[in-house]
Structure 1
Amino acid sequence: MRWGVVGFGWVARDYMAPGIAAAGGTLVAIADPSPMAQASAMSGGILAYDTAEAMLADAALDCLYVATPNNLHADPVRAAVAAGVPVLCEKPIAATLDDAEAIGSAVAGHLYGTAF
């Protein structure tokens, strides 16, 4: 399974990336505006993008893991849904009830999970 990650901070880098590999998957791309996060990914042969939209348009992904700060979950989740890519989003689903309801509506009928 080819994974993409949005938000390549310590949780994604130190826990999710090794977990993907341990489960037999491959982390092929990340989206993070941080030059340090991009350099870290590229040093491991992983494609790096500034935005989820750019990554979803360019990288052939089987699944997307969203590990951005909680208040930034909605946009990459919606982008993945629009691209037809299943989503695993870090907990909590959102920082506000309005965002949580918007994400819930966006993922209706789409393969989605919240990571715990």
Structure 2
Amino acid sequence: MSLRPLFVTQVYEATLAGAAGFPVFNAELADACRMLAAEDLAGRQWCKAHGYRGYTSYGSLTDLPVRLPEFGELKRHLDKHAQTYAKALNFDLSRKPRLDNIWVNILKPGGGHTGHIHPHAFLSGT
């Protein structure tokens, strides 16, 4: 008899909390999220139409890193971590991985996401 690992998933974990200026960055990012929830009428309408308990920019905004500098900075951090992860897994990629979409979710108590997949994604996460 033998045992062998199959379908092993290498999970990458990292934090931005140790970076210089993180508390300010985190507060500014949270403020930007709340601002979007208050000002994104199309997003709020999408949430209402889909029974979403809270706010998401998923159905309305696709340009957050360009629209707001806080998300541009977040994208730079995430792209760096995606590259580190790809190298650690020895992926042979024709180009560097990059974030191509990001959205805001602010859930009310009792709110949640239904199960879903991210097709064509090299990686995804929260």
Which one has a larger percent strand, Structure 1 or Structure 2? 1
Into which bin does the TM-score normalised by the smaller protein fall?
under 0.3
Larger Rg: 2
Q: Could you state the TM-score of these two structures normalised by the residue count of structure 2? A: 0.26
Q: Could you state the TM-score of these two structures normalised by the residue count of structure 1? A: 0.27
